[in-house]
Amino acid sequence: MAWGRNRNHLPHSCLRPSGDGTKPDFSRFAIGDYGNTLLFGDYEATVESILYEFDGDFRRRYRKNLRNTSTDFGDCLRRVRMQKELTQSSFPGVDAKTIERIESGKSKNVRKATKDAISYQLGVPWEDIKTF
């Protein structure tokens, strides 16, 4: 994690005034919310927002975690498929591209025959996939 020229150096310019005009007061630094918030006087910034902006490794981990906790149908389908150790091509009669489109949220209107084939292979009713 390298920020700017110096390792772990956060440029003050990245902490822009908030919507109400509050500016960071760097002479009044504190840590709040059990280490989750950086306080600069009346100005607050979450550690997560700073890391997301400046640390590529953090962004990759954060986005991966989002996929693992998302309640979007496609992400739920992906989780149950992986839990059952199936690949996208493990569904007889359903093209792997179709599974990919459903998991990525690109395909919302799934045909009944496709739903039935996916449910059968997973051993999970279609309406229960969203619970994973």
Domain boundaries, the chain: 24-64, 71-131
* Euclidean distance between the first and the last CA atom of the chain, given in angstroms as a whole number: 34
Question: Model confidence at 1, in pLDDT bands (50, 70, 90)?
Answer: very low
pLDDT digits (tens, 9 = 90+) for 67-82: 777 888 999 999 999 9
pLDDT in tens, 18-39: 889 999 999 999 999 999 999 9
For residue 8, report the phi and psi dihedrals to the nearest 5 degrees.
Answer: 60, 25
Residues whose CB is less than 8 angstroms from the CB of residue 76 and which lie 6 or more positions away in sequence, other chains included: 70, 129, 130, 131, 132
What's the CA gap between 49 and 84, in Å, rounded? 35
> Who wins on pLDDT, 46 or 66?
46
Name the one residue in this structure whose structure tokens are 């739903």: 115
106 Cβ neighbours under 8 A, 6+ residues apart: none
Structure tokens at 125: 């009713």
- Rounded to whole angstroms, the Cα distance separating 75 from 35 reads 30
Helices (H), 9-90: 47-54, 56-69, 73-83
Average pLDDT of the segment spanning 97-123: 96
DSSP SS3 for 91: coil
Cβ neighbours of residue 71 closer than 8 Å, sequence gap 6 or more: 130
CATH of domain 71-131: 1.10.260.40
Cα–Cα distances in angstroms (integers) from residue 73 to residues 25, 78, 87, 99, 105, in the given order: 44, 9, 17, 12, 8
